[in-house]
């Protein structure tokens, strides 16, 4: 599966140390996803969810929460920018996992929806520990459409809308 959401501009805007931290967070996330102790649980989480987007989001948020708490216990801070960049690529990794191991039907809309749902799930899991995402309002093009589809996905119906262009993720070239 090709990378769905263009993460290159965001990556280029990050200072090198943040980009390296994002790569480390993503690497830890992929390791957690494929770890023998978690792999079967992840498959079950995806298969038992009402939609592929909900399952992918649940798995990605679970992994993200574990990484965030482990870093916090070590006294390390993961910035919102690092979480967003690594999280976007992690959602796409989980989507590939879902296709391969959970027989989930995944497309661009599912991945975009999963990213927004995972972000909300992670904020909810972290509660008061959640980093404050101070972002400019990108307008309806970036978030409102995906949030609307995510809500429809959670209730079992998918809207048919145009998907974003495909692109490479952290340390990856477009496939």
Q: What is the mean pLDDT of residues 75-102?
A: 92
Q: Pinpoint the alpha helices (H) of 74-144.
A: 80-101, 108-126
User: For residue 37, what pLDDT is reported?
Assistant: 93
Of 118 and 84, the one with more pLDDT: 118
User: Does any domain span residue 76?
Assistant: yes
Q: How confident is the model at residue 80 (pLDDT cuts 50, 70, 90)?
A: confident
Assess if residue 169 is contained within a domain: no
Is 0.75 surpassed by the pTM of this model?
Answer: no
Asked if the structure places residue 60 within a domain, the reply is yes
pLDDT tops 50 at residue 72: yes
Residue 94 lies in a domain: yes
Residue 163 within any structural domain of the chain: no
16-44 pLDDT, tens digit per residue, is 888 899 999 999 999 999 999 999 999 99
Domain presence at residue 173:
no
State how many domains the chain has: 1
> What pLDDT, on a 0 to 100 scale, did the predictor assign at position 1?
52
């Amino acid at each position: 599966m090709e990378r769905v959401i263009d993460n290159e501009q965001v990556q280029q805007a990050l200072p090198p140390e943040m980009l390296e931290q994002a790569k480390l967070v993503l690497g830890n996330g992929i390791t957690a996803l494929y770890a023998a102790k978690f792999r079967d649980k992840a498959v079950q989480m995806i298969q038992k969810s009402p939609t592929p987007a909900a399952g992918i989001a649940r798995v990605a948020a679970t992994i993200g929460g574990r990484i965030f708490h482990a870093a916090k216990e070590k006294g390390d801070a993961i910035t919102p920018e690092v979480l967003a960049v690594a999280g976007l690529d992690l959602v796409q990794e989980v989507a590939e996992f879902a296709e391969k191991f959970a027989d989930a039907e995944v497309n661009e809309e599912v991945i975009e929806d999963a990213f927004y749902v995972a972000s909300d799930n992670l904020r909810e899991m972290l509660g008061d520990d959640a980093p404050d995402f101070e972002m400019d309002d990108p307008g309806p093009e970036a978030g409102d459409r995906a949030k609307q589809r995510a809500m429809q996905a959670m209730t079992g119906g998918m809207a048919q809308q145009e998907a974003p262009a495909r692109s490479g993720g952290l340390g990856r070239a477009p496939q």
